[in-house]
Amino acid sequence: MKEQLVTLSRTIAYALRHHPEQFGLTIDDEGWVPLDELLTALRQQRSLQTITIDDIVTLLAQPGKKRFEMYEGMIRAYYGHSIAQKVIREPVAPPTILFHGTTPEAAQAIKVEGLKPMQRQYVHLSADEATARTVALRKTRRPVILHINAQQAHEQGLHFYYGNDTTWLADTIPPRFIQEI
């Protein structure tokens, strides 16, 4: 069952974050799609032909990083979208400090250019240093952890968006709000 949940999670992420058109899905302005449409699309995949709504509910109830949410028969990915259509998010006040884990090479560029979304719609920030380190360790054995003075940036007009318990989003972060730990 665990292997099937991993396959399910990866497929949903691919469908909702990157290529909804390959699944015949249309994402609304806030990233939502009808759950029944997603379920129909998933069942077209050979490895997911017997998937049920209960399987999706089980996936969302798993401990750890929350990637999706359901509400009133709809489902969406919290963050990570690379689709052309910008997913609209409601700005909220962030914590005082957020974190960003990266490589030493990228940290040098960030100090000059700031943080940019790159191939994603938003800059991804971590709510805690440990999560930022985990993210950076996916790319390098020598992680660099950056402090983002989110409260100050917010007070000066930058928008932040809640992703989930460990992930925050922003449009861009200028270098003046970034410090290397």
Are the C-beta atoms of 139 and 103 separated by less than 8 Å? Answer: yes
Q: Where are the domains of the chain?
A: 2-77, 97-180
Residues 100-144 have pLDDT tens digits of: 999 999 999 999 999 999 988 999 999 999 999 999 999 999 999
Strand partners, 101: 145
pTM of the model: 0.77
Looking at residue 117, its pLDDT comes to 94
Supply 115's token pair: 């943080």
- In the CATH hierarchy, which fold is given to the domain comprising 2-77? Arc Repressor Mutant, subunit A (1.10.10)
Residues of the chain with pLDDT under 50: none
State which amino acid sits at residue 95. Answer: P
Looking at residue 1, its pLDDT comes to 67
Supply 136's token pair: 């950076």
Between the alpha carbon of residue 162 and those of residues 1, 61, 80, 95, 120, the distances in Å are 31, 19, 12, 10, 16
Residues 6+ apart with CB under 8 A from 50: 43
Q: Which CATH architecture has domain 97-180?
A: Alpha-Beta Barrel (3.20)
Between the alpha carbon of residue 63 and those of residues 60, 67, 70, 137, 165, the distances in Å are 8, 11, 16, 21, 12
Topology match between the domains 2-77 and 97-180: no
Are the C-beta atoms of 59 and 7 separated by less than 8 Å? Answer: no
Supply 151's token pair: 């409260």
Looking at residue 55, its pLDDT comes to 93
